């Protein structure tokens, strides 16, 4: 935990806040903090700064928060991601959030197992929790927007163009395509398919919405490996 991320329900009065049991355990057991000590903190969707430990009573920790600055500007990357395997979804959401991706759509694909959409891991509160962990890791406070699109064609035809806006639209796919661009500075929407790749039909649908195919070498990567590698190549991270 690189940042104590304070949420509205933790606020008592003014700039005084109560840490959650998980945060308190980290502050006391990992940081060995004492009253008067400062730790990095931030307000969800707000500023970052420092929290001063004001009280420690029976493992309940109260802090006083003082804002200092806004979090670093995100890299301007949106992610259109075929729903990954449930056991990897949580890890991928943490990583995507820590990389500064602020718009995420989890979309269906022909090669996505239908059972993936029935997993308890898709509950809103669990997805929210994993994105909070990603923010803590990156010392960020701005929560991404997350949308589930269990029907590929309706989303692509009716919503994708507005969602992607004026971004450069890039589809990662193996084959005889131009090499993946690098160090982009403007807004980008990246589409990553399932491990078996997008189908020809899905590629055609995405191309109609302005996506261009680019290859990232001959190796077939797991989604959890491909995502940070692609982001690192495409974007100038702050």
The pairing of beta strand 168-172 with beta strand 212-214: parallel
Q: Are residues 82 and 60 in the same domain?
A: no
138 or 235, greater pLDDT: 138
Give tens-digit pLDDT for 104-114.
Answer: 999 999 999 99
CATH code, domain with 115: 3.40.1280.10
User: Does the structure show a pLDDT above 80 at 218?
Assistant: no
d(CA 40, CA 48): 8
What mean pLDDT, rounded, does the chain reach? 93
Q: Are residues 47 and 163 in the same domain?
A: no
Distances (CA, A) of 32 to 74, 138, 175, 231: 32, 21, 53, 35
Q: Are residues 144 and 220 in the same domain?
A: yes
Q: Are residues 31 and 90 in the same domain?
A: no
Q: Are residues 85 and 61 in the same domain?
A: no
**Tell me, what DSSP letter sits at residue 62?**
E
Q: Are residues 91 and 194 in the same domain?
A: yes
CATH code, domain with 35: 2.40.240.20
Q: What angle is formed at CA 181 by the lines to CA 179 and CA 187, rounded to 5 degrees?
A: 145
Q: Are residues 64 and 81 in the same domain?
A: no
Last residue of a domain, one of 12, 42, 69: 69
Last residue of a domain, one of 14, 36, 69: 69
Quick one: which of 67, 63, 70 has its CA closest to 27?
A: 63
Q: Are residues 184 and 214 in the same domain?
A: yes
What pLDDT was estimated at residue 29?
Answer: 93
What pLDDT was estimated at residue 216?
Answer: 85
Last residue of a domain, one of 50, 69, 88: 69
Q: Are residues 39 and 87 in the same domain?
A: no
Give tens-digit pLDDT for 49-82.
Answer: 999 999 999 889 999 999 999 988 888 999 999 9
Q: Are residues 170 and 225 in the same domain?
A: yes
Q: Are residues 154 and 220 in the same domain?
A: yes
Q: Which domain holds residue 180?
A: 77-234
pLDDT band for 201, please (50, 70, 90 cuts).
very high
Q: Are residues 173 and 224 in the same domain?
A: yes
Distances (CA, A) of 238 to 8, 29, 226: 27, 31, 20
Per the structure, how many domains does the chain have? Answer: 2
């Amino acid at each position: 935990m690189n940042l104590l991320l304070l949420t509205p329900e933790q606020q008592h009065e003014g700039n005084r806040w109560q840490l959650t049991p998980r945060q308190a355990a980290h502050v006391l057991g990992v940081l060995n903090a004492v009253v008067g000590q400062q730790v990095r903190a931030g307000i969800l969707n707000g500023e970052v700064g420092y929290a001063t430990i004001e009280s420690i009573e029976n493992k309940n920790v109260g802090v006083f928060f003082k804002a200092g600055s806004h979090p670093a500007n995100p890299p301007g990357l949106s992610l259109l991601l075929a729903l990954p395997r449930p056991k990897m979804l949580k890890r991928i959401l943490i990583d995507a959030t820590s990389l500064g991706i602020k718009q995420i759509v989890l979309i269906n694909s022909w090669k996505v197992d239908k059972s993936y959409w029935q997993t308890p891991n898709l509950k809103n509160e669990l997805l929210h929790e994993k994105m909070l962990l990603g923010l803590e890791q990156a010392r960020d406070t701005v929560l991404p927007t997350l949308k589930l699109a269990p029907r590929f064609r309706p989303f692509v035809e009716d919503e994708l163009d507005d969602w992607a806006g004026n971004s450069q639209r890039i589809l990662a796919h193996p084959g005889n395509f131009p090499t993946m661009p690098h160090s982009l500075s403007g807004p980008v929407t990246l589409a990553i398919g399932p491990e078996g790749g997008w189908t020809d039909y899905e590629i055609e649908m995405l191309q109609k919405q302005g996506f261009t195919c680019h290859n990232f070498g001959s190796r077939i990567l797991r989604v959890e490996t491909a995502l940070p590698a692609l982001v690192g190549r495409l974007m100038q991270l702050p």
